[in-house]
Structure 1
């Protein structure tokens, strides 16, 4: 029912300027019974809202994704469910003004489990009660354009669902091909929510998952872009991923044992591509690589390795971090 993000994910996400949400999930017949117990419009419902807010405050994450994949009594439970979403959003905002409560497009105001794949009259009241809505992933391309003309004011609060497995949709494909869905979401002026990004690990041989992971997120970034990760000075990164085959400090091994602690992760590069230019021309597809390795490190368990060959007269640039640092007039950086 309640999933609390691991503390390492919370710390690494915040270090990169990313909000991290917990999930409150009730599903199928068991979930319907649970809803009947806590959607009482009284003490139990109020206590649940208070407890969810307290959990987020205690662990330091930023809000909740609400997933109600259940059938409910339209008259008895739906008004209380809308009130629950609204009150949770209010208390979370009171606790942290930048918090997020996101509703997943599942149960409707009729109490039926009918994924809408768009904002409609059947899920609009839930959307209105919180900070945003994650749309189911079976949308059609034309529906994004049609819906956009009606709700410009909160368009970015709609997270277009894109399933990395490409299930139940013809708008995009599976795996790397799902990036077409990401591009459609961006073109529509909305936000985007990815379902099942663990595809990179689950789809093939485990040994190659890191290569798939890098290629997948590079393709997502090419379609969506990347927010600035460096926003203040001083700034430092040794590219430590938060784990490795040994622990290094200032280039020396202080422990030869494998370790893992994502809370120790440094800010990671915005891009792992190498730009090559010759005679004023620049191109990305050049055979040069920039990748992480755990064979060496300066601080932590990993570092970056640049590989490939440069021809005579060529120069290479490695654009590592997108930055957005305010600089006052007359200040040297």
Structure 2
């Protein structure tokens, strides 16, 4: 009987378990994981060595475009990299030598969040959590600051997530991957930490044990230089830690011990800065790779050893069973840890909501949650579609996270596939806890860019850093009549790329729940709603929480002052002075249509502030062109500027055309942008650019300006 079963100290055994306990064969779903990582990174295995010189580990790729950073720990593969790939050494990296640092640095701090009373009786707060491993793009060539397409995995159901792993890496590109800034900024705005990925791949997929040895190598003073380097990368780029996945087989117990010591060093260096570690269930204490599907004597030393915490959480491999998870939960608690620090892996990459899962082994309905849930590749909601339009994606994504009812307050019976949607098991969270607050229902991608209801760019785009804090519950609708559909729609918008659309036969007033909040209301507090479609609208403000899970939210309904008539967008104002001194716990809208007929009503923006006359934000300074590459009447360029003082939500860059019109080019939360193509307008002598800071309620600053002169001729 092992030490974990006889009442002895359940932490790291004094002697390693016998090597015979290591499974010899890779489970079938491991091929899915490894192939998925290779596919996510468009893996190109190294070509045979040639006479070409070895690449400079610190070299930037050709051209001015910045990309998400990736490295090998130190030594590089033999041969030459494939097209578009640059092999770099993490050991040779420094912030000062990183040409793309400003483009890859996140700017939004990790927001604190709270859990409203759950929307239904099966969702629980303070129990199981959800982690997701998501590939947002290839390892090499993943743009730092969005791109000119709306076909993008614009994750927005942050309310149910507790951790996001920026999944990727491959033997042909690099095995250490840092998240790009838009993903981190969007996640942080919603209170979700983001981890970079260390993926030491299986030998069958090009893995080389020397990369593991490079990673955990000590220097002559006994320190782990790459542990310190990983902390330096996370702090410089502004993300929250590392997911460490050592799947390269062939090691021994000495390598396992060195790896555990490396994790201790990584934790010691990172914990003072709030960084965290998730360890993947692969390498075990013998140094061999043997996926356990459990926390047990073979892998517990990478989670907790005799000296204390090693990793903050463990991602349990797909081969788990109901028994192994129950035993893992019990062992975690004997170690003095929470059972909810174990993520049970569920692979949704190929079948999404049709994935067969023993849900009661993880998230039972009739007793405490056993462990937490780890979703592998939920971007299936986009990847499986034949219609890859943003509207089709969000309809699929809402179904994945909310369930077939598309209303978390009224969960549908579990479908034949048995899919247990996250909204039916885990309570949603929110970060809307202070004024001012604004939401224009911008999802972080779109077919066009709108400002004030007018199109200022007809180019499709994506940039998650521009995403709003969207309602967490999609969509709670209350009506005595026929239920209308509620969607995020891309055919029209007030600002950004999308708006909230309510459509259908409205035979009775309908209320739509929006944000869970913790807003202290002042005598001068005011709300504004920008809407179109002919319905009259009221704002719902709940000054107390629901009486219990699944109970209705007790809104106070305030009539919105009706603006002048006419088609198009209108702004209605609601004074919140009658509720001064109280706390707003939730927001909603209620619409009524004269004659009880069909409705197509849009909410373009909702803002709340504590003064009727907001001041615009201060302007950014010293906008400049850092580099440019010209091809006749076309130029590619990089720009940078100094951050505006005071609170800024993001920055927007426009081109000022010779006829006086402004065209939206890009936006970011940071202080640098890359423009892949600027085309000369007629005979203009210089391309003129304007940059504005935008605050939480979408007020814009005065512009900072610069130009790019064109060559004569």
Report if TM-score (shorter chain) is over 0.5. Answer: yes
d(CA) in 2 for partners of 1:244, 1:103: 36
Aligned to 1:276: 478
Structure 1 residue 52 corresponds to structure 2 residue 220:
no
Shift of 1:182: 5.8
Which of 283, 289, 292 does residue 107 from structure 1 map onto?
A: 283
d(CA) in 2 for partners of 1:240, 1:179: 33
d(CA) in 1 for partners of 2:371, 2:440: 35
Aligned to 2:342: 158
Conservation of the 8 A alpha-carbon contact between 2:349 and 2:379: no
**Closer, same or farther in 2 for the Cα pair 1:151/1:231, shift >3 Å?**
same
Q: 1:277-304: per-residue Cα shift (whole Å, max 9, x none)?
A: 439xxxxxx6522111222111211111
Shift of 1:100: 1.6
Conservation of the 8 A alpha-carbon contact between 2:313 and 2:342: yes
d(CA) in 2 for partners of 1:298, 1:241: 13
Aligned to 1:138: 319
Deviates more, 1:35-44 or 1:207-216: 35-44
d(CA) in 2 for partners of 1:203, 1:253: 30
- Describe the SS at the equivalent of 2:254: coil
Shift of 1:133: 0.6
Structure 1 residue 331 corresponds to structure 2 residue 581:
yes
1:1-333 superposed matches below 5 A: 1-29=175-203, 30-42=207-219, 46-94=224-272, 96-97=273-274, 99-128=275-304, 129-152=310-333, 153-165=337-349, 174-178=351-355, 180=357, 184-187=361-364, 188-207=369-388, 208-218=392-402, 219-278=421-480, 287-311=483-507, 314-325=508-519, 331-333=581-583
- Describe the SS at the equivalent of 2:188: helix
**Closer, same or farther in 2 for the Cα pair 1:235/1:209, shift >3 Å?**
closer
Q: How large is the Cα RMSD of the aligned pairs?
A: 2.6
- Describe the SS at the equivalent of 1:160: strand
Q: 1:172-228: per-residue Cα shift (whole Å, max 9, x none)?
A: xx4214485566423434222111212223334243444322211223222323112
Aligned to 1:170: none
Bigger fraction of residues in strand: 2
Shift of 1:88: 0.6
**Unpaired runs of 5+ in structure 2?**
1-174, 305-309, 403-420, 523-542, 544-579, 584-713
**Closer, same or farther in 2 for the Cα pair 1:140/1:205, shift >3 Å?**
same
d(CA) in 2 for partners of 1:138, 1:288: 42
**Closer, same or farther in 2 for the Cα pair 1:138/1:209, shift >3 Å?**
farther
Aligned to 2:564: none
d(CA) in 2 for partners of 1:185, 1:325: 35
d(CA) in 1 for partners of 2:251, 2:357: 38
For this pair of structures, how many residues does the alignment match?
316
Conservation of the 8 A alpha-carbon contact between 1:247 and 1:253: yes
Shift of 1:61: 0.6
Shift of 1:316: 1.9
Conservation of the 8 A alpha-carbon contact between 2:493 and 2:499: yes
Shift of 1:81: 0.2
TM-score, normalization: structure 2? 0.42
d(CA) in 2 for partners of 1:116, 1:126: 13
Conservation of the 8 A alpha-carbon contact between 1:159 and 1:190: yes
Shift of 1:246: 2.2
Conservation of the 8 A alpha-carbon contact between 2:245 and 2:279: yes
**Unpaired runs of 5+ in structure 1?**
167-173, 280-285
Conservation of the 8 A alpha-carbon contact between 2:488 and 2:500: yes
d(CA) in 2 for partners of 1:164, 1:146: 24
TM-score, normalization: structure 1? 0.85
d(CA) in 1 for partners of 2:359, 2:276: 21
**Closer, same or farther in 2 for the Cα pair 1:154/1:274, shift >3 Å?**
closer
Conservation of the 8 A alpha-carbon contact between 1:182 and 1:223: no
Aligned to 2:414: none
Shift of 1:92: 1.1
Conservation of the 8 A alpha-carbon contact between 1:229 and 1:270: no
Shift of 1:124: 0.4
d(CA) in 1 for partners of 2:357, 2:249: 33
d(CA) in 2 for partners of 1:182, 1:242: 32
d(CA) in 1 for partners of 2:248, 2:184: 29
